[in-house]
């Protein structure tokens, strides 16, 4: 029998997949990393790396991947009725106290380059077509993925462990019935890059309104990332027109965007949320958005991705060491690491969806802004205790 060329195949080269590949390669595993996009590639995202994510990067020796980003001291949150609270991340006990803002095109490419430098083999413009499933002594098992290469050739990439980090539409996760779209909530996002936006500062911005919320992030070069998330899909029939209407009608934002100009086509996607019943199956581990996705309101999506990729790599290394399956353990690890933050994010999401609750929360924030400032610090993951 021809020996396997790789120990792990990682599908998806976003932050989760790149970090998983890097950690595995540093540990001596033979890793193949693939992605359907041609890198560097654009990615609709809030473009902010919160302090908790920066701390993960620093611990992994990846500070350079965000070195060109703007420092973010905290967040500005506004709500109905003119409520506005500016809070700093303000970490405790030596925790990271600033986030970073930079475009995903540059950040993701830097992470992939770090994985390659560690020894991972990377193939972009390579599509995952399906998981390869074989019968083993313990039943069905994932033993790799079927690929379509950049030149259109079909190829089978086999390995003892597969890590699926191929996003919310994960080919592997969906094929195995691990992922599903929840009936509620169903939200869509539209985003674009602007120049000449007034009054940008060292803060990420979240403007919570009835029926939608608007995220604004300052970026290097005088750009601003603007994303609108809404549950009304009909509003996205013309994404650019919808984005213009939202900004023009918003009392807080319209003057700041009066002379602003789009620098690239407006992009939309959705529905956003993804539920996953387990973080893998026999021979398979999930990471990143493929392992579940919650609406991006609190700016912590990249920490979930980075740390989730690291946890998947740790589980893969354990599986390679003793030949066992570690997907159930990875599911428990993710719940331990992220469970509290998931509950917080879902609570915030429900709050925004109910007009009366949003009004009450806005009134409470106006009277006691310290409550919202504490929530901003929690959203920034400034005092996260990671598993050892």
Check whether 60 has a pLDDT greater than 50.
yes
pLDDT one-digit tens code per residue, 131-158: 999 987 778 899 999 999 888 889 999 9
Distances (CA, A) of 351 to 80, 126, 380: 13, 41, 19
CA–CA distance, 15 with 183 (Å, rounded to integer): 27
Q: Is the dihedral of CA 359, 364, 367, 371 positive or negative?
A: negative
CA–CA distance, 43 with 38 (Å, rounded to integer): 12
Residue 7: how many other CB atoms lie within 10 Å? 20
Q: Classify residue 59 by burial, with Cβ atoms within 10 Å: 0-12, 13-18, 19+.
A: middle
Which stretches within the chain are classed as H helix? 15-26, 51-59, 104-118, 171-175, 239-249, 301-322, 327-353, 355-367, 369-379
pLDDT one-digit tens code per residue, 238-263: 999 999 999 999 999 999 999 999 99
Check whether 2 has a pLDDT greater than 50.
no
User: Which pLDDT band, with edges at 50, 70 and 90, does 363 fall under?
Assistant: low
Of the chain, the end-to-end C-alpha distance in Å amounts to: 39
pTM (predicted TM-score): 0.92
3-state SS of 214-229 is: EEEEEEHHHEEEEEEE
């Amino acid at each position: 029998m021809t020996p396997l060329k790789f120990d792990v195949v990682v599908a998806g080269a976003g932050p989760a997949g790149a970090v998983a590949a890097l950690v595995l390669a540093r540990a001596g595993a033979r890793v193949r990393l693939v992605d359907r996009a041609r890198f560097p590639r654009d990615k609709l995202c809030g473009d902010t790396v919160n302090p908790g994510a920066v701390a993960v990067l620093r611990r992994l020796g990846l500070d350079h991947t965000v070195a060109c980003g703007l420092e973010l001291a905290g967040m500005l949150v506004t709500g109905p009725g003119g409520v506005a609270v500016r809070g700093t991340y303000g970490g405790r006990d030596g925790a990271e106290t600033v986030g970073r803002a930079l475009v995903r095109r540059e950040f993701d490419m830097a992470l992939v380059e770090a994985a390659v430098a560690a020894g991972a083999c990377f193939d972009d413009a390579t599509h995952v077509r399906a998981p390869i499933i074989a019968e083993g002594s313990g039943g069905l098992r994932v033993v790799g993925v079927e690929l379509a290469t950049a030149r259109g050739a079909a190829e089978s990439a086999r390995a003892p462990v597969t890590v699926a980090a191929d996003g919310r539409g994960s080919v592997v996760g969906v094929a195995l019935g691990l992922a599903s779209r929840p009936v509620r909530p169903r939200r869509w996002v539209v985003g674009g890059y602007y120049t000449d936006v007034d009054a940008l500062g060292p803060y990420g911005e979240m403007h919570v309104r009835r029926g939608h919320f608007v995220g604004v992030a300052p970026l290097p070069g005088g750009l601003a990332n603007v994303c609108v998330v809404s549950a009304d899909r009909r509003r996205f029939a013309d994404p650019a027109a919808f984005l213009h209407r939202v900004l023009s009608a918003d009392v807080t934002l319209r003057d700041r965007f009066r002379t602003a100009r789009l620098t690239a086509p407006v992009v939309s996607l959705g529905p956003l949320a993804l539920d996953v019943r387990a973080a893998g199956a026999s021979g398979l581990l999930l990471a990143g958005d493929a392992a579940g996705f919650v609406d991006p309101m609190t700016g912590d999506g990249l920490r979930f991705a980075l740390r989730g990729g690291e946890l998947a790599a740790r589980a893969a290394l354990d599986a390679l060491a003793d030949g066992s399956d570690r997907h159930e353990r990875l599911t428990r690890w993710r719940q331990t690491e992220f469970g509290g933050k998931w509950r917080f994010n879902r609570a915030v999401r429900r709050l925004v969806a109910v007009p009366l609750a949003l009004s009450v929360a806005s009134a409470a924030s106006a009277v006691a802004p310290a409550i919202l400032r504490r929530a901003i610090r929690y959203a920034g993951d400034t005092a996260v205790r990671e598993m050892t």
